[in-house]
Amino acid sequence: MNELVAQFWWVFAIALLVGIIVGWWLFAANRKTTIARDPAAEDAAKSVKRNQALIDSAPSATPAPPVPAPEGLAGIGTVVGHEAAHAPSPASAGEGDDLTRLKGVGPKLAARLRELGITQLSQIAAWGKADIDQFDSQLGDFAGRIRRDNWVEQAKLLASGDDAAFKEKFGAV
C-alpha cells in the first residue's frame, strides 16, 4: 500500500486540492448572496405602523379658536366674547348620530368630528366645497378623508334613511 501511495502521490494531492476548491465554493462563495428588498413593502410597513400609532394615540385636545370680541359698549364685548368662547359645544347638547356608520370614520375620527361640533349626519350631508375645505383643514392626520371616502354622499344616503342605496354603493351599513 505504501508503494501505491508513493507512486501516485500527485493524484492524491490533486484530489485534495479539488476537494478544497469545491468545499470553498460550496460554503464561502455562496455566502455573498444579497437580499433584494421591495421598497413598496417597506413603505407599507411604515404606513401600517403610523396608522396603528394614530389608532392607539389619545385624542388630541385642541383648544377652541379665540372668538374676536365685539367693540364698544364699555367692555361688554369682552364679556360676550369670553362667554361665546366658553359656550358648550353642540356635541354636549345631545347624543347625535353614530358617525362611525360612515365608511372611513372610526371612533377617534368620530370623536374629533364631535369636538368640531359635528354630531349629525345631516350636518355632513349639507356640506359644500367650502365646508369640506374648512373641516378638512381641522382634521389633522385625517386630512383628505372627507373627499377620498365621499362622506357627503354617504351622509346624504344615511341621513335620508336609504340604507339600501347606501349598501349598494358603499357596502354593508
Quote the number of domains for the chain: 2
33-49 confidence digits (pLDDT tens): 666 666 666 677 777 77
Residue 137 lies in a domain: yes
* Alpha carbon distance 64, 80 (integer Å): 16
Residues 84 and 133 in one domain: no
Contact 85, 112 (CB under 8 A): no
Contact 118, 124 (CB under 8 A): yes
Residue 110 lies in a domain: yes
* Alpha carbon distance 77, 11 (integer Å): 108
| Grid cell listed for 134 | 374648512
Give the residue with greater pLDDT, 146 vs 44. 146
* Alpha carbon distance 127, 104 (integer Å): 17
Domain's final residue, options 93, 115, 144: 93
Residues 138 and 125 in one domain: yes
Give the residue with greater pLDDT, 140 vs 83. 140
* Cell 469545491 -> residue: 22
Check whether 75 has a pLDDT greater than 50.
yes
Residue 84 lies in a domain: yes
State the pLDDT confidence band at 171, using cuts at 50, 70 and 90: confident
Write out the DSSP string of 54-89: HHHSPPP-PPPPPPPPPP-TTTHHHHHHHHHHTSPP
| Grid cell listed for 159 | 341621513
Check whether 137 has a pLDDT greater than 60.
yes
Residue 126 lies in a domain: yes
Residue 43 lies in a domain: no
Q: Is the pTM of this model over 0.75?
A: no
Check whether 91 has a pLDDT greater than 50.
no
Contact 81, 70 (CB under 8 A): yes
Residues 169 and 114 in one domain: yes
